[in-house]
């Protein structure tokens, strides 16, 4: 994306500007974002960047692929449905204990009840073999984790603009 096409930062000098910016980033139909990452600091930084990018969607967290699948299938500590709202978007790290992101992605995309949930890979890996494998498994996007907080905020803004404003996502069918 060229710089002329990228939105300029909106100054928050007044309450009116703040409300205009907040309205722009309202959650898409209450879409829940689920972040699967084993690193506590990465989860915290991603959540902070999400807020800094003015994304108001609810964000839930799991720490490995097993917990991700338990969340998605509402098993174990996620059994009560209120504890595990179906995500509209999954941000998935690749290198996690117990069940890594590759295995979790394979299971998600092979499950007819889950395969339509968009999965965006957010990982430190930049190897072409990982990128090729992940797209082959059905990931929607592959993002290398930015190394600075400002770059992570920019990445979250792009994710928000693309996934919450631009694209049409699968969801419940309209009755009638």
The pTM assigned to this predicted structure is 0.79
- Sorted by where each starts, the structural domains of the chain and their CATH numbers stand as 26-164 (3.40.50.2300)
Q: Going edge to edge, which strands form the sheet with 59-62?
A: 59-62, 32-36, 87-92, 119-123, 141-144
Looking at residue 29, its pLDDT comes to: 52
Top pLDDT among 126 and 19 is at: 126
Angle made by CA atoms 92, 98, 104, in degrees to the nearest 5: 40
**Confidence bin at 173 (pLDDT 50/70/90):** low
Give yes or no for a contact between 154 and 55, defined as CB atoms under 8 angstroms apart. no
Top pLDDT among 111 and 18 is at: 111
Helix then strand then coil, in percent of the chain rounded to 5, is: 45, 15, 40
Report the pLDDT averaged over residues 101-111: 95
């Amino acid at each position: 994306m060229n710089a002329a096409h990228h939105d300029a930062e909106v100054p928050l000098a007044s309450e009116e500007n703040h409300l205009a910016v907040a309205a722009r980033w309202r959650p898409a139909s209450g879409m829940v974002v689920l972040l699967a990452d084993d690193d506590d600091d990465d989860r915290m930084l991603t959540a902070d960047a999400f807020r800094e990018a003015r994304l108001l969607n609810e964000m839930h967290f799991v720490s490995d692929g097993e917990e991700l699948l338990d969340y998605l299938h509402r098993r174990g500590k996620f059994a009560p449905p209120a504890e595990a709202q179906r995500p509209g978007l999954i941000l998935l790290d690749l290198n996690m204990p117990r069940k890594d992101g590759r295995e979790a992605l394979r299971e998600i995309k092979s499950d007819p009840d889950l395969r339509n949930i968009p999965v965006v890979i957010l990982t430190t890996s930049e190897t072409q073999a990982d990128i090729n494998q992940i797209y082959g498994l059905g990931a929607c996007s592959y993002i290398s984790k930015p190394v600075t907080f400002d770059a992570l905020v920019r990445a979250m803004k792009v994710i928000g603009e693309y996934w919450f404003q631009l694209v049409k996502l699968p969801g419940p069918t309209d009755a009638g």
